[in-house]
């Protein structure tokens, strides 16, 4: 079947100007001309035009399209290459989206915006070095805390979601907080001094039950619960002042988002009750 340029444009859903553009560049050559010298196109030209439109809609450049229609490259090869390029662009856009969303939520200053953008663009190796430096400073490289260090290590996926990127930005900022590092360092020292790592779990089990039962922190029952923990009251108070810092819980929540874990249970109510019971 033969088509005029107008008929071909209509069937392809393009403008005559667009078809003429592709035709003039040899991508959709006419199969002949009528007696008036007007271009005529066959079904092969219509098929080529459909392919060109599809590839253009997918963002493929004209130079690459020419290689496809000329038989120098397959659609599959072009699709694979283009998909890889798009994946890179998508990752870049995710980072930009995460930074802009975080800036908008916080009402960040220009300096904070610059820092967040820098943290979001860190390579995997740079992220690893930042985390390693944080954990080495906070935990002091203590041999008995390797397991704890692993549980505190964020692993941002290659194809991180916007939520994971936002969480990583805030977590990275928190990891550079000198006061927060000092809190974790002191907790590590207390671990070596006799406050076992599972004390938080003991508090959760004992105090949660007391909270559920409505036990007042200044009651005899509360004193019995505190005594049951078997810790020196002064040391316990110091531990509570450190472990109850909201930055610790915030780090754990951000870590769960970054690593795709379930959100951790908040121990803030238990810590608050215990602090009142030991006051």
- Rounded to the nearest integer, the mean pLDDT of the chain is 88
Q: Are residues 60 and 182 in the same domain?
A: no
Q: Are residues 170 and 267 in the same domain?
A: yes
Question: So what's the pLDDT on residue 6?
Answer: 92
Question: So what's the pLDDT on residue 84?
Answer: 86
Q: Would you say residue 114 lies in a domain?
A: no
What range defines the domain where residue 220 resides? 122-279
Q: Are residues 137 and 69 in the same domain?
A: no
% the chain with pLDDT above 70: 97
Could you identify the residue written with the tokens 């560049």?
25
% the chain with pLDDT above 90: 44
Q: Are residues 142 and 69 in the same domain?
A: no
pLDDT classification of 152: cutoffs 50, 70, 90: very high
Q: In this structure, what token pair is assigned to residue 35?
A: 């007696």
pLDDT, one tens digit per residue, over 7-48 is: 989 988 889 999 999 999 889 989 888 888 888 999 999 998
Question: So what's the pLDDT on residue 197?
Answer: 54
| Element holding 39 (H helix, E strand) | strand 39-40
Q: Are residues 136 and 30 in the same domain?
A: no
* Chain CA centroid to CA 144, Å: 31
Output 95 or 259, whichever has higher pLDDT.
Answer: 259
- Which of 55-64, 86-95, 220-229, 258-267 is the least confident region? 86-95
Q: Would you say residue 126 lies in a domain?
A: yes
Residue 172 pLDDT > 90, yes or no?
Answer: yes
pLDDT classification of 269: cutoffs 50, 70, 90: very high
Question: So what's the pLDDT on residue 1?
Answer: 77
Question: So what's the pLDDT on residue 102?
Answer: 84
Q: Would you say residue 43 lies in a domain?
A: yes
Q: Would you say residue 115 lies in a domain?
A: no
Q: Would you say residue 66 lies in a domain?
A: yes
> Domain holding 66: CATH number?
1.10.1660.10
Q: Are residues 253 and 145 in the same domain?
A: yes
pLDDT, one tens digit per residue, over 109-151 is: 988 889 888 888 898 899 999 999 999 999 887 777 888 889 9
d(CA 248, CA 267): 11
| The last residue of a domain, from among 73, 93, 113 | 73
Q: Are residues 68 and 126 in the same domain?
A: no
Q: Are residues 47 and 142 in the same domain?
A: no
Q: Are residues 219 and 133 in the same domain?
A: yes
Q: Would you say residue 53 lies in a domain?
A: yes
Q: Are residues 195 and 267 in the same domain?
A: yes
pLDDT, one tens digit per residue, over 174-222 is: 999 999 999 999 888 877 655 555 688 888 888 888 988 999 999 999 9
Q: Are residues 126 and 195 in the same domain?
A: yes
Q: Would you say residue 185 lies in a domain?
A: yes
- Number of structural domains found in the chain: 2
- DSSP, collapsed to helix, strand or coil, labels residue 160 as coil
Q: Are 183 and 246 in contact (CB under 8 A)?
A: no
Q: Would you say residue 112 lies in a domain?
A: no
Question: So what's the pLDDT on residue 194?
Answer: 54
Q: Are residues 32 and 134 in the same domain?
A: no
């Amino acid at each position: 079947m033969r088509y005029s340029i107008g008929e071909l444009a209509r069937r392809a859903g393009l403008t005559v100007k667009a078809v003429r553009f592709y035709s003039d560049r040899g991508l959709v050559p006419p199969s002949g001309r009528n007696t008036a010298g007007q271009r005529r196109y066959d079904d092969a030209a219509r098929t080529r035009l459909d392919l060109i439109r599809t590839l253009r809609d997918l963002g493929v450049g004209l130079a690459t399209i020419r290689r496809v229609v000329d038989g120098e490259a397959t659609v599959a090869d072009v699709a694979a290459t283009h998909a890889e390029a798009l994946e890179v662009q998508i990752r870049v856009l995710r980072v930009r989206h995460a930074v802009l969303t975080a800036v908008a939520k916080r009402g960040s200053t220009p300096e904070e915006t610059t820092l967040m953008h820098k943290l979001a663009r860190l390579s995997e190796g740079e992220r690893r070095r930042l985390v390693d430096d944080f954990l080495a400073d906070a935990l002091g490289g203590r041999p008995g805390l390797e397991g704890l260090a692993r549980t505190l290590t964020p692993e941002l996926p290659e194809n991180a979601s916007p939520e994971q990127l936002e969480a990583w930005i805030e977590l990275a900022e928190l990891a550079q907080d000198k006061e927060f590092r000092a809190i974790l360092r002191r907790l590590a020292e207390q671990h070596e001094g006799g406050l076992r790592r599972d004390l938080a779990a003991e508090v959760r089990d004992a105090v949660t039950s007391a909270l559920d039962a409505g036990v007042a922190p200044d009651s005899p029952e509360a004193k019995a619960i505190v005594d049951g923990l078997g810790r020196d009251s002064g040391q316990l108070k110091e531990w509570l002042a450190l472990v109850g810092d909201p930055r610790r819980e915030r780090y754990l929540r951000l870590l769960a988002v970054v690593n795709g874990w379930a959100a951790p249970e908040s121990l803030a109510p238990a810590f608050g009750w215990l602090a009142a019971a030991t006051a």
